[in-house]
Amino acid sequence: YLAIQSEPQSVAPDMDVDESEFLIPDDVDPELLEAFSEEASELLSSSGQAIKSWQTDHDSEVDSLQLQRDLHTLKGGARLTGINPMADLTHQVETLVIAVSDHKVPADEDFFDLLQRCQDKLSEMQEQLAQRQPLKTALSLIKEISWRTEGADLEIDDRPLPEPEKV
């Protein structure tokens, strides 16, 4: 009986969370915001390609590392410009990707589905940012990532990423 209770959940709890709108801070330099918006678009294009390639070859360390680099850079830019919903989601996605890369969470169909939904949400946020519209938060995706990584021993702070390979 006790062993049954300690089994991990196989069905996700209700992930619906009320999302709110995040107003772009007034005190952010417009040129910095514009530069970040353009960089975010490029990073999301690169990360989208990395996801597609990784989904084709689950053992591809190159694609996993490229995705980690893109997410890490995107997170830093979002933090610098005060775009917290984008920074928070990116941090959680980065955590999830590292957990999968470290074989602490499976690289299964559910993972790639969640990863693609996060990618779509980040792209939506980037478009809202480019148009200077309020961003919708991604609390339900963050909750789902937390559920998927629950119980995994994750240590990602201060983890250096290897340099990209020279082609």
> Tens digit of pLDDT for each residue in 71-128?
999 999 999 999 999 999 999 999 999 999 998 999 999 999 999 999 999 999 999 9
Instruction: Return the closest-CA partner of residue 149 out of 27, 12, 22.
Output: 12
* Whether the model pTM is above 0.75: yes
Give tens-digit pLDDT for 7-62. 344 445 555 667 899 999 999 999 999 999 999 999 999 999 999 999 999 888 99
Instruction: Return the closest-CA partner of residue 105 out of 119, 95, 118.
Output: 95
Q: If you search the block for the tokens 């339900």, which residue do you land on?
A: 140
**Within 27-138, where are the H helices?**
30-56, 61-81, 84-101, 109-130
DSSP class of 157: T
